[in-house]
Structure 1
Amino acid sequence: MAGISNTGAHVLEVIGVAEGRNSGRDADVLASWRRCVNDHRLDPARPSAPRIVTQRELTQHRQDSEELLSVARHGMEDLYRRVNAMGYVLLLANGRGVTVDSIGDAQLDRELRHAGLISGSEWDESHVGTNGVGACLATGQAITVHRGDHFDVALTPLSCTAVPIHDTTGSLLGVLDLSHLQAPEDKMSQALTLEVMKSCARRIEMANLVRRHRADWILRLHPSPDFLDVDPIAALAIGADGRITGMTNNALRLAGPGRPLIGRRIDEVFACDIDDIPRLSRTQAQVEGCLEMQAGGRVFARSVPPSAPPPRRADQPELPQPLRSIHGGDPAMRQLALRAGKVLDRQISVILQGETGTGKEYVARAMHDASRRRGSFVAINCAALPEALIESELFGYVPNAFTGAHTRGKKGLIREAHGGTLFLDEIGDMPLGLQARLLRVLSEREVLPVGATRAEPVDIRVISATHRDLAGLVAQGQFRQDLLYRLNGLVLEIPPARARADLEWLIERIAAATDGQPCFSPEAMALLLCYDWPGNVREIINLCELVSAMYDGACVLPDHLPGAIADRTATTRLPASTVSEDDLLQLLVEHGGNVSAAARAAKIDRSTFYRRLRKSKIGTVA
């Protein structure tokens, strides 16, 4: 009866506030209640728990939130290390209220899932009512929604403290939320949590400003000189022309009410100009400078000089050589390289998805070589290791941990990858029991060797690969959903060899890297380009090694090719005359304008395809 009574009292309080009656709750909570009833038409008597989006939807949300994930991940991990013993869970939501990342105690998995405090939960205020993430998104302001502050009575055990995260132009990227399953009754217990979260958001925005504006001066600001180098309250990026190019969100207050900052000259905001900025740097100033603001008041400032040359234009992205070398112009691989380049030095896990043999390890190694990580690249084939050995191989063991163990112990592959990259190939084949241990390694960034009593910290970048449908394995109970959420930061689809527009480049590159460097005649190459390559890159490598051994130094002719390739092509290749102009157009549409792929599908060479296009005047594809 007490539960029913409490529910009824909560519903009556919400309705009363919506009708204009007073309540002792914070003004931002009351404003949210009124929005929920009057604007969103929500009923406080009807539970509206957060919806959990599908795995496909979550993948799309994460891909759309790459900037947010790259901005926030390091700050999230640093914050969680400080609060992980207090029962909190840390959520990162995008601008639509969907949790795209989360860090929590794996032992509380069931409770967190029941409360919706997991990746994939949707917290928009118009659907769930008053909650930390939803109210923060609605107002753009930090907020603590504590227990009975929640609109939905089912959420009243929770305490949620949420802060906004902005990009360097002031646009809202998402929300960082720290929630507790069973917080104390007194809301004042969360006052320190709110200040910690605000400080964390400032540091995240500061790190993003420094990263994105390496070619500009950074002006760090604080009302007190004692905190400039510890936790500046705001910061600005200033270009060589003296105009403001970026900011942390707190800097808006410097401009005066309703006035923008981006694009304004520094002398419009402060009583100084661009020539004064270097004098505020540590190399030229013995003490922090004090700047008068044009809007009134003063602030202490420290300038940091540019750390990089001006960035290239957006239409000429600069990629490290290892990533530039993974393709020869194929559009899908070019886009993959660009997306991979954005997360090279971020603690964002990557899944490489594609058919067996498409070169997933090659791409993973290229990402490692292109990054700043100087540790080892350690590749583990989760399908090849015997289940009885995989635990000791991955986690290592202490001396004499079990019968047959080496007296000196074993470091383990995860610790071998410390400071580098851990590549988990065929992750979908990892036994369920070990998935739980791997999840703990990724969550806590530490590994417990077999037989040890104390965990050891590890700094690893994880790249996984699979040809299987991980979401389907989760539905079948063969793969942990929480591990998938942890691994599934950025999904990169590697196209099969038969779909690549740079197939000829790929074959020639593999041939050049093969002992003997086989050379294919134009006729042989034409046959290779028409073959479907079910074994993908791996099959191309095998072919190159075979013809190099069999025909050392000789140019490879059609008769030298394995029968499976020659016979398949001879029986399936269509004469150009049997393919109509309408067929060509349909193939071109189906392959997204990729002429090479469309020509292979038509079983004609690229030049013939072009010639037929021009003759029929279907298009003018270049």
Structure 2
Amino acid sequence: MGGMQDTGTHVLEIFRAAEGQSSRRDADVLASWRRCVNEHRLDPTRHLGPRIVTQGELRQHRQESEELLRTARHGMEDLYRRVNSMGYVLLLANARGVTVDAIGDAQLDRELRHAGLITGSEWHERDVGTNGVGACLASGRAITVHRSDHFDVTLTPLSCTAVPIHDTQGNLMGVLDLSHLHAPQDKISQALTLEVMKSCARRIEMANLVCNHRSDWILRLHPSPEFLDVDPMAAVAVGADGRITGMTHNAHELVNRDLIGRPFSEVFAHEFEDLPVLSAALAPVEGVLEMQSGGILFARAVPPTAPPRSPAGAVALPAPLLAIHGGDPAMQRLAERAAKVVDRKISVILRGETGTGKEFIARAMHQSSRRRGPFVAINCAALPEALIESELFGYVPNAFTGAHARGKKGLIHQANGGTLFLDEIGDMSLPLQGRLLRVLAEHEVLPVGGTRVEPVDIRVISASHRDLAAQVAEGSFRQDLFYRLNGLVLDVPPVRARADLEWLIDRIAAATEERIGFTPPARQRLLAHDWPGNVREIINVCELCAALCEGRPVQPDDLPAHIAAAAGQPDRQSEHELLECLRQCRGNLSAAARLAGVDRSTFYRRLHRAGLMDRRQG
């Protein structure tokens, strides 16, 4: 790290670049510097470094990034095996700039922690300034931020090469970053690193496409025939109806147009029925694919490896919505209804008890949509009355006592082009309800203390455990806002009513940092518990068990006392009793559940646990 003279020179160069003066820096670095100074109002003389989120925040980020973690982990491990002796650390950040996974040399642990190159570090450009992860998120492009390219002078020993990772719908899932603690001075030294990272991201996206589109044709693409089978440049998935259902990000750039939802024959000068001819079985050599826009690509078609995901007439669910449940009928119906509106201008209310996972569902809807902007969540009940207005709408410079001299963008503006999730909206005050209504009606926001409105394009998903219609009747919630928000109401069932309780517990346990497992007696007690705290209670129990058990399987005595005591409750009938209830009710699940003295979901769960779902007696 340089002395004060070097620091002053660095700061001066940033300010000159922000004013538009010429520089030898890469264009993406200069664009980031300008954003940091002109949009984020950052001061290059202040040295903050990345914030490390709390363990609770990290757990939430990891749970929300489950698909990203699953998608990228194998590729990360394969890449790190090739660079582990070169002083690099590999980071995986989500779309909010938080590192959710990291692989580095344990001998460098102290240095990595000092530099913030660890799980839980937050690298968004608006907080840290120009850095690999933050600049990649902001631009959507691969970038190397080398040493003095960094905005914060304390980060200038680092060289960070970052590449975006997109889901099969083209949405930015996160960023893969390879950082070096003490890189050579010359930036050209990282040129090969950048190409290796691009290749790694391409393979990760390819594997994700194949995994999530087993029921579709996969069309591998490359401008050159030599690499088509060994390392395709891009790929698209084509459904049974002949429409493109997914893609790797390079496919968009290779074809140079939007692809998702388009008929195959609209993009390529071929019919959907031609795909088998491009398969390896019928085309021993590479096939030539003409594009409607002109030009050719070399292509190889891989037939579906699984039957269609949905029966005829059913809704084809995007992968994020498929992942919100493990077979519960109520959650399946919710996912199907949500899938029908993700790309329509219809507001949604998620209604359910506290802790049922409403934000998780809202995020899955956002990830399933074609909206390219961010997902921004705000809990209306958690912010003080004095703060919620400025947080939502932002404020102009010096708008009130304690306001930042440069002002602040509100969460509504930050969600521009994306989704704004308003949790516990029933707790919003009437004056703020009026301001929110104007935003939704006029598609523009007026910052606190401002006189000029700013246009916004947001999709609103709201949630509440309250009965909003009852609040309207009593006068505590505006009727006009209620009708503006009340496009589709989705009821989220409590955990105690879900037939996939065991799947839910196992999923949360697998997402816990220590990855815990349960002995059969412990599992029996977990399944017998009513879970009044819903998903949040399951998370707390799993974290407690992880801390107590330190890697060994969870025993009943490791569980909280009120759950361990559930063994004495008559929660489970024997296999014979379940079958007898079904026999008497001629296979009618609802009637059999009433006969057993439990609700339908509980009875369904017990059948599933006993392996009887395919053995109903008439």
Match of 2:224 in 1: 224
Match of 1:337 among 482, 503, 518: 503
* Displacement after TM superposition at 1:70 (Å): 1.1
Match of 2:12 in 1: 12
Contact 1:129-1:150 within 8 A present in 2 as well: yes
Match of 2:523 among 350, 359, 372: 359
DSSP-derived class of the 1:29 partner: helix
* Displacement after TM superposition at 1:428 (Å): 3.8
Q: 1:325-382: per-residue Cα shift (whole Å, max 9, x none)?
A: xxxx9447825504746998xx99663499996339999xxxxxxxxxxxxxxxxxxx
Distance (Å, rounded) in 1 between the aligned partners of 2:77 and 2:526: 29
Match of 1:235 in 2: 235
Q: 1:296-325: per-residue Cα shift (whole Å, max 9, x none)?
A: 21110001010001124659989699xxxx
Contact 2:84-2:105 within 8 A present in 1 as well: yes
Match of 2:570 in 1: 504
Code of the aligned partner of 1:222? H
Structure 2 matches for 1:266-345, cutoff 5 A? Answer: 266-312=264-310, 330-331=496-497, 334-335=500-501, 337-338=503-504, 340=506
Match of 1:127 in 2: 127
Structure 2 matches for 1:81-100, cutoff 5 A? Answer: 81-100=81-100
Distance (Å, rounded) in 1 between the aligned partners of 2:300 and 2:601: 56
Q: 1:372-406: per-residue Cα shift (whole Å, max 9, x none)?
A: xxxxxxxxxxxxxxxxxxxxxxxxxxxxxxxxxxx
Match of 2:167 in 1: 167
Match of 2:428 in 1: none
Match of 1:63 in 2: 63
Distance (Å, rounded) in 2 between the aligned partners of 1:466 and 1:125: 45
Code of the aligned partner of 2:523? G
Contact 2:521-2:556 within 8 A present in 1 as well: no
Distance (Å, rounded) in 2 between the aligned partners of 1:10 and 1:205: 37
Distance 1:92 1:16, change over 3 A: same
Match of 2:176 in 1: 176
Distance 1:430 1:351, change over 3 A: closer
Give aligned-pair identity as a percent. 62
Distance (Å, rounded) in 2 between the aligned partners of 1:337 and 1:4: 57
Distance (Å, rounded) in 1 between the aligned partners of 2:167 and 2:560: 28
Distance 1:264 1:144, change over 3 A: same
Q: 1:453-503: per-residue Cα shift (whole Å, max 9, x none)?
A: xxxxxxxxx89759999xxxxxxxxxxxxxxxxxxxxxx999926679x95
Distance 1:228 1:2, change over 3 A: closer
Distance 1:175 1:495, change over 3 A: farther
Q: Does 1:158 align with 2:158?
A: yes
DSSP-derived class of the 1:299 partner: strand
Distance (Å, rounded) in 1 between the aligned partners of 2:271 and 2:58: 47
Contact 2:512-2:546 within 8 A present in 1 as well: no
DSSP-derived class of the 1:173 partner: strand
Distance (Å, rounded) in 2 between the aligned partners of 1:310 and 1:497: 42
Distance 1:50 1:467, change over 3 A: farther
* Displacement after TM superposition at 1:267 (Å): 1.1
Contact 1:98-1:122 within 8 A present in 2 as well: yes
Q: 1:575-616: per-residue Cα shift (whole Å, max 9, x none)?
A: xxxxxxxxxxxxxxxxxx9999xxxxxxxxxxxxxxxxxxxx
TM-score using structure 1 length? 0.57
Code of the aligned partner of 1:139? S
Contact 2:525-2:566 within 8 A present in 1 as well: no
Distance (Å, rounded) in 2 between the aligned partners of 1:232 and 1:595: 46
Match of 2:137 in 1: 137
Structure 2 matches for 1:417-428, cutoff 5 A? Answer: 428=547
Distance (Å, rounded) in 2 between the aligned partners of 1:343 and 1:278: 42
Contact 1:352-1:466 within 8 A present in 2 as well: no
Structure 2 matches for 1:150-549, cutoff 5 A? Answer: 150-256=150-256, 259-312=257-310, 330-331=496-497, 334-335=500-501, 337-338=503-504, 340=506, 351-352=515-516, 358-359=522-523, 428=547, 496=563, 504-506=570-572, 508=573
Contact 1:243-1:265 within 8 A present in 2 as well: yes
Distance 1:83 1:306, change over 3 A: same
* Displacement after TM superposition at 1:268 (Å): 1.1
Q: 1:130-178: per-residue Cα shift (whole Å, max 9, x none)?
A: 0000001001111000000000000000000000011100001110100
Match of 1:567 in 2: none
Distance (Å, rounded) in 2 between the aligned partners of 1:595 and 1:165: 38
Distance 1:178 1:594, change over 3 A: farther
Q: Does 1:52 align with 2:52?
A: yes
Q: 1:437-461: per-residue Cα shift (whole Å, max 9, x none)?
A: xxxxxxxxxxxxxxxxxxxxxxxxx
DSSP-derived class of the 1:504 partner: coil
* Displacement after TM superposition at 1:505 (Å): 3.5
Distance 1:430 1:265, change over 3 A: closer
DSSP-derived class of the 2:20 partner: coil
Contact 1:358-1:495 within 8 A present in 2 as well: no
Q: What is the aligned-residue RMSD (CA, Å)?
A: 4.1
Distance (Å, rounded) in 1 between the aligned partners of 2:174 and 2:504: 23
Unaligned runs of 5+ in 1: 322-328, 364-422, 432-461, 470-491, 513-592, 597-622
Distance (Å, rounded) in 2 between the aligned partners of 1:5 and 1:463: 55
Distance (Å, rounded) in 2 between the aligned partners of 1:156 and 1:184: 12
Contact 2:327-2:499 within 8 A present in 1 as well: no
Contact 1:319-1:341 within 8 A present in 2 as well: no
Contact 1:426-1:466 within 8 A present in 2 as well: no
Match of 1:104 in 2: 104
Code of the aligned partner of 2:247? M
* Displacement after TM superposition at 1:286 (Å): 1.5
Match of 2:580 in 1: none
Distance (Å, rounded) in 2 between the aligned partners of 1:254 and 1:26: 24
Q: 1:547-583: per-residue Cα shift (whole Å, max 9, x none)?
A: xxxxxxxxxxxxxxxxxxxxxxxxxxxxxxxxxxxxx
Distance (Å, rounded) in 1 between the aligned partners of 2:188 and 2:213: 38
DSSP-derived class of the 2:56 partner: helix
Distance (Å, rounded) in 2 between the aligned partners of 1:155 and 1:117: 11
Distance (Å, rounded) in 2 between the aligned partners of 1:332 and 1:494: 23
Q: Does 1:79 align with 2:67?
A: no
Code of the aligned partner of 1:337? W
Contact 2:218-2:301 within 8 A present in 1 as well: yes
Match of 1:618 in 2: none
Distance (Å, rounded) in 2 between the aligned partners of 1:173 and 1:353: 29
Distance (Å, rounded) in 2 between the aligned partners of 1:595 and 1:282: 46
Contact 2:516-2:545 within 8 A present in 1 as well: no
* Displacement after TM superposition at 1:199 (Å): 0.6
DSSP-derived class of the 2:515 partner: strand
Distance (Å, rounded) in 2 between the aligned partners of 1:334 and 1:94: 27
Code of the aligned partner of 2:305? S
Distance (Å, rounded) in 2 between the aligned partners of 1:495 and 1:64: 29
Distance (Å, rounded) in 2 between the aligned partners of 1:160 and 1:464: 39
Q: 1:264-302: per-residue Cα shift (whole Å, max 9, x none)?
A: 111111111111101111111110001111122111000
Distance (Å, rounded) in 1 between the aligned partners of 2:82 and 2:57: 31
Distance (Å, rounded) in 2 between the aligned partners of 1:343 and 1:425: 11
Contact 1:238-1:266 within 8 A present in 2 as well: yes
Distance (Å, rounded) in 1 between the aligned partners of 2:509 and 2:2: 52
